[in-house]
Amino acid sequence: MTVFLLGAGPGDADLLTLRAARLLASAQAVVHDRLISPDVLALIDPGAARYDVGKMPGDSRSQGDINELLIELGRTNERVVRLKGGDPFVFGRGGEEAEVLVANGIDVEIVPGITSAFAAPLLAGIPVTHRGLSHGVTVVTGSAVTGSTIDFVSLANPDLTLVVLMGVEQRALIAQQLIEGGLAPSTPVAAVEWASTPRERCVRCSLDELGDTHVEAPAVLVIGLVAALDIGRTRLLASAWALA
């Protein structure tokens, strides 16, 4: 009996690994997040039991409830897939779920997925590093900005690209702290919404405009000089495949 912690990537089913697609087609039970795209869910064996455990604002469902469900399913099924958006180990609580399952004597196999932290900017034509503009990239969550976990003032480095996941709600505060830390108010920002899906949209602005710019979740925030780029190669490749 095995629970497969499977990364669904940013959204498009074509970006799944081959192993992920095969596991979805053979799973007996699938526990999935709310934002998994319909074309990914369509790959699940029609006979498999499905459990939507996606959390909505104000939802009382806890991570503990999800853990208990995974334990129960893992003990009664040969192949259980825990389907999580992006990569399950990048702010996806995949590590927590793996620890709980192993502690309860259930085998776990990790199937990595493409993380939205890098895929979303790339699909919008933005390289997260670029010679002469960015010497590195920092990936953080924006959901903890109001607490003591993330100090965005200390992350204000013009030589690096800052990628913020789950930061839409706190984007004004994030921008304020980065400016306080020394980033120029004119620093380019790109917000990539629903990357790789038909709803994909890239919103561009400057750092001092971010709080007043309309951005819809889910979105990946890219902050730094590279956010002004629009390489466009992914669009050309997508068009070439469509014509093939």
Q: Where are the domains of the chain?
A: 2-111, 116-228
| pLDDT given for residue 231 in this prediction | 85
What superfamily does domain 2-111 belong to in CATH?
Tetrapyrrole methylase, N-terminal domain (3.40.1010.10)
Tell me the C-alpha to C-alpha distance, in Å, between residue 57 and each of 54, 83, 158, 161, 217: 10, 20, 34, 29, 12
Q: What is the DSSP letter of 16?
A: S
> Are 68 and 62 spatial neighbours (Cβ–Cβ below 8 Å)?
no
- Residue 20: φ, ψ to 5°: -60, -45
Q: What is the pLDDT of residue 35?
A: 85
| Active-site position among 12, 33, 84, 87 | 33
Q: Which of 55, 59, 65, 159 is catalytic?
A: 55
* 33 among known catalytic residues: yes
- pLDDT reported for residue 146: 53
For the purposes of burial, counting CB atoms within 10 Å of the CB of 111, is it exposed (0-12), middle (13-18) or buried (19 or more)? buried
pLDDT in tens, 223-238: 999 999 998 644 434 4
pLDDT of res. 34: 87
DSSP class per residue in 170-234: THHHHHHHHHHTT--TT-EEEEEESTTSTT-EEEEEEGGGGGGS---SSEEEEESGGGG----HH
Q: For domain 116-228, is the CATH number 3.30.70.270? A: no
Location of structure tokens 């009664």? 76
Q: Indicate if 84 belongs to the active site.
A: no
pLDDT attached to residue 235? 46
pLDDT at position 79 is 94
Please give the sequence-ordered ranges of beta strands (E in DSSP) within the chain, or none if there are none. Answer: 2-7, 29-32, 49-52, 79-84, 107-111, 137-141, 161-165, 188-193, 201-206, 219-223
pLDDT of residue 236: 39
pLDDT score recorded for residue 133: 94
* pLDDT confidence of residue 238: 44
Coil, helix or strand for 159? Answer: coil
Pick out the chain residues at pLDDT < 70.
Answer: 55-61, 144-149, 232-244
Instruction: Tell me phi and psi for residue 222, to 5 degrees.
Output: -115, 120
CB neighbours of residue 94 within 10 Å: 22
